[in-house]
Chains A and B, each alone.
Chain A
Amino acid sequence: MSIQRIKAILLQELYITRHSLEVLMDLFYFSIVNIIVFGFVSIYLAGSNNPLAAHYILLGMILWEIIRVTQYSISVGSLWNIWSRNLSNMFVTPLDLKEYMAAAMLAGAVKTIIILVLIGTISHFIFNFNILNLGILNLFLFFINLTIFAWSVGIIILGIIFRYGTRIQALAWGIIFIFQPLTAVFFPVSILPKFMQWIAYSFPPTYIFEAARLNISNQSTDWQYIYIAFAENIFYFILALIFFNVMFNKSKETGQFARNEG
């Protein structure tokens, strides 16, 4: 692995982000609008004698952005190069998949931290909800778990894009939202029908959102939930890497990778 090549991809990410209104909109604008809307909903709910639900909503929104922004960054980052017909150009340099993925994951994490700080600040000063009340260690563990899950989803979507081209590019923006109801982002898992609860518990973010809600309700940390989330995350991450590798090789076999263009 070459640090300089990882730096090259990070530099490109920085330049694209700086020059693209679309990226700034998708990342910053939507995150800020979401936190403002959900902030006011939480104020309304708090006024209706349901302060806990109000906090759940705002907490869910902030933590959800970790998943959305990280996954978006990984999947859409490659699309910018496919649309510019530059992706295969990059892969005829000594750049390898490990370096590319490492850079994409790092870029996703950096963008997420920036947005987390931004929306955390808005939430604290405008809506009187401090995400740091979770505790630094807990917040760190939640962040790591949600980031790994987002990486896994991003990598799987990237594999599908590499394999089938831009005709399925809408997945890069859309598919992540299926996990909002499935991982009980804004409400306790118990609200879901029984069969959906089983599905929910097969995804690591469910445990993290449950643990975060518990944490905010009675200031306790459910370590078991965090361990299970970690274990599931490791499983999904390995699965995502294997899937991506299979898709990438298949893409080179069918000639799709070389044809990938906007």
Chain B
Amino acid sequence: MNKVLEVKNLTKKYDRFTAVDDISFFVNEGEAVGFLGPNGAGKTTTIQILLGITSPTAGTIKFFGKDFSRHKKESLQRINFASAFNTLQGRISVWENLLVYAHLYRVKNPKEKIMEFINYFEGEALLKQRYWDLSAGQKTKINLIKSLINDPEIILMDEPTASLDPDVVDKTLSFIEELKKSRKITLLYTSHNMDEITRVCDKIIFLDHGKIVAQDTPLNLTKQIKTSTLKLTFDGKEEEMEKYLKSQKLKYEFLNKYTVKIAIEEKLIPSVIFGISKTALWITDIEVQKPTLEDFFLHIVRGKNYVNSKN
């Protein structure tokens, strides 16, 4: 598979603070890679360096196999960018904005190209409106159309759904999924939102304090969390349940007198249930919550001692 983007030993230091700390990764053609991490992890700085608007302290970037610092124009012609934090020129209309960007990318037949995307995304009613006057959802739509105007081979998306309501987020994600399918575009996508990342991305690069702490598929990352949550509803005395759980040295939390949440390795669940059934307790409901990407995120952010705590 062709590597669209290859980053080696990328570092960015601001005086004594290291925002990006010697990271290396690659993105294959057609792949959607998620950049996940807490605030200040270095996600946005990395994207800015990849776009050439922040200079790196060290490291190399290759787009389409060519050194970015030496082939910047050529690379940027094949890349595009969408973010909730960078908007288009607010004072002019959507049509005028898109026309300016079409010329910046030297698009052939710019008017036809704009109309192609506008029709596809049913944005005709927005064309004459001033960009400032659009709603957050409409702006996101136009930003995404802008990010497609040069038929990019890779789109870098920096939290494209930030501050949008759930309905618009869902529509935006559907649109991005549609893009992936229909145009086979490579994506590099940053977000705090686990569900978004799980939905859109094939691979996740987890950043924390500027370093890559994990990179794998969403499924494999969640597999790294060994403990699931076992939620039991039972008939019997709370003290007896507590006595049993203590004897098994399990971590637990009572949600009420008859419901307990236990952090437990998945493979131990049958033996625990079997053990409880031998006591005077009667299990009336069993619920197993498997670890999610969010658990992995919290595991990284809060340290190794984190135990899944969802109800």
Contacts and interface: CB of A to CB of B under 8 A. Distances in A.
B105 A12 contact: no
A166 to B, nearest CB: 15
Contacts of B88: 84, 86, 89
27 contacts: A2-B106, A4-B103, A5-B106, A8-B100, A8-B101, A11-B96, A11-B103, A12-B92, A12-B100, A15-B93, A15-B100, A16-B91, A20-B91, A84-B88, A84-B131, A85-B85, A86-B89, A88-B51, A88-B53, A89-B81, A89-B86, A89-B146, A92-B52, A94-B73, A255-B48, A255-B54, A258-B48
Contacts of B105: 93-94
A130 interface: no
A83 B88 CA distance: 10
Interface stretch (A34-42, A132-140, A246-254): A246-254
Contacts of A257: 53-54
Interface string B11-50: 0001000010000000000000000000000000100100
A96 interface: yes
A258 B54 contact: yes
Interface string A59-84: 00000000000000000000011011
**Which 7 residue pairs across A and B have the least CB separation, nearest first?**
A8-B103, A93-B104, A15-B92, A84-B90, A258-B48, A92-B51, A94-B73
Interface string A1-30: 010110111011001100110000000000
Contacts of A9: 100
Contact of B89 (A80, A93, A252, A253): A80
Interface in A178-226: none
B77 interface: yes
A15 B131 CA distance: 12
Given A93-B76, A253-B54, A257-B54, 6 more contacts: A15-B91, A83-B90, A92-B53, A92-B76, A92-B80, A92-B81
B100 A84 contact: no
B106 A258 contact: no
B55 interface: yes
A227 interface: no
B184 to A, nearest CB: 22
Interface string B260-291: 00000000000000000000000000000000
A80 B54 contact: no
B103 A7 contact: yes
B158 to A, nearest CB: 10
A8 B54 CA distance: 23
On chain A, which size bracket covers the interface?
Answer: 35 or more
Interface of A: 2, 4-5, 7-9, 11-12, 15-16, 19-20, 80-81, 83-86, 88-96, 249, 252-255, 257-258, 261
A4 B51 contact: no
A19 B100 contact: no
Contacts of A19: 91-92, 130
Interface in B154-180: none
Contact of B14 (A8, A80, A255): A255
Contacts of A86: 86-90
Nearest to B106: A4
B87 A94 contact: no
A258 B76 contact: no
A16 B48 CA distance: 27
- Centre residue among A2, A20, A89, A96 by max chain B CB count within 10 A: A89
B53 A80 contact: no
Contacts of B19: 255
Nearest to A22: B91
A255 B106 contact: no
B200 interface: no
B82 to A, nearest CB: 9
Contact of B55 (A2, A8, A252): A252
B45 to A, nearest CB: 7
B99 interface: yes
Contacts of B92: 12, 15-16, 19
